[in-house]
Structure 1
Amino acid sequence: MLPTLIDFAGNSICQKEYLEILELILGGYIPTGTSSKFLEEYQREFGVGKLSRKFNASDPAMKVTKIVFVIDAQSCSLPKALIEGIQRAIQQHTADGQLKPL
């Protein structure tokens, strides 16, 4: 099975909109073929927090098991905000990978 690649380049992962999307991606809630544009437009139309109601079933095969950072070698800085955002998103899941209740 080929990996799914998601690029958050240019987006502030600290924004609550991207944190919600990241939480759902990490837990395997977003089906294959769902575009990030669709997720962003759905949030704009219905509000942050509504994606977890639309995508409420986790697929174990879609859960994220590895995260790879690609950064510009000339920048010499780690994406600290992105790393912190991922850590916060991971903390929103229970030990069995389900989203914690709000």
Structure 2
Amino acid sequence: MKNRSSNTVAVIMWVYAIVNAVVGIIFACSMYDTYEVLSILFIAVTVVFSFGIYAVGEIIQLLQDIKDNTNGAIQPITLSQKQSSSVDDDLPSI
């Protein structure tokens, strides 16, 4: 299996999304007796935003993987020119 380095920001986003979802659902369940419709709406909003936060963390990790995989893949292009060549040699005569 390939050794995959994790981006710290992505891991923080994943953990925050999971904690946010759990705490939001617990909070909504605790207020269900008083505010039934509002608590169901709160659960839905919490789940949607937690998925969004998790997705942002996943995007950050994918960008890190792309950066890691392309690191060193691009070689600089060097042009070999004569020392005596000038700009006038490259221009057409009119």
TM-score by length of 2: 0.28
Q: Specify the structure having the higher radius of gyration (Cα).
A: 2
TM-score by length of 1: 0.26
More helix by share: 2
